[in-house]
């Protein structure tokens, strides 16, 4: 009697365990695909920033990173992930020393990963 109950309980639970294991593999694959799609989106978003555009244009996608920068060069982080960075060189819109929204991008590096810099 007890053996029959134990066997029935095991046979009842076993399909649920198998389904849970299969579902976990499906979820892991979906998570991987979501991560890949997110990275593709990030790269496409950063690629919209091109030489000739202004600092104002750049700031719609990227934020200044901490650390040292000048009006003519700086490191910028992706707005949604501070580990994704680019280095940017600018041509000054005027002779002043402070950054201006109209400064033009001369060069932008490929995106790279690095720890955030906090001032």
Q: Is 46 a domain residue?
A: yes
Q: Is 47 a domain residue?
A: yes
The boundaries of the domain holding residue 99 are: 2-113
DSSP, collapsed to helix, strand or coil, labels residue 37 as helix
pLDDT digits (tens, 9 = 90+) for 54-70: 999 999 999 999 999 99
pLDDT value at 1 more than 80: no
pLDDT value for 24: 58
Question: pLDDT category, 27, cuts 50, 70, 90?
Answer: confident
pLDDT value for 56: 97
Burial of 71 (0-12, 13-18, 19+ CB in 10 A): middle
Helices of type H across the chain: 2-47, 55-58
Q: Is 118 a domain residue?
A: no
Q: What is the pTM of this model?
A: 0.76
């Amino acid at each position: 009697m007890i053996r029959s109950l134990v066997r029935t309980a095991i046979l009842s639970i076993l399909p649920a365990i198998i389904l849970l294991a299969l579902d976990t593999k499906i979820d892991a694959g979906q998570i991987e695909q979501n991560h890949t799609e997110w990275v593709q989106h990030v790269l496409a978003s950063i690629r919209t920033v091109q030489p000739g555009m202004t600092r104002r244009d750049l700031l719609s996608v990227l934020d200044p990173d901490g650390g040292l920068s000048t009006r003519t060069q700086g490191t910028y982080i992706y707005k949604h992930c501070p580990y994704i960075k680019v280095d940017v060189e600018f041509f000054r819109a005027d002779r002043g020393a402070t950054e201006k929204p109209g400064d033009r991008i001369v060069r932008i590096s490929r995106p790279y990963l690095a720890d955030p810099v906090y001032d």
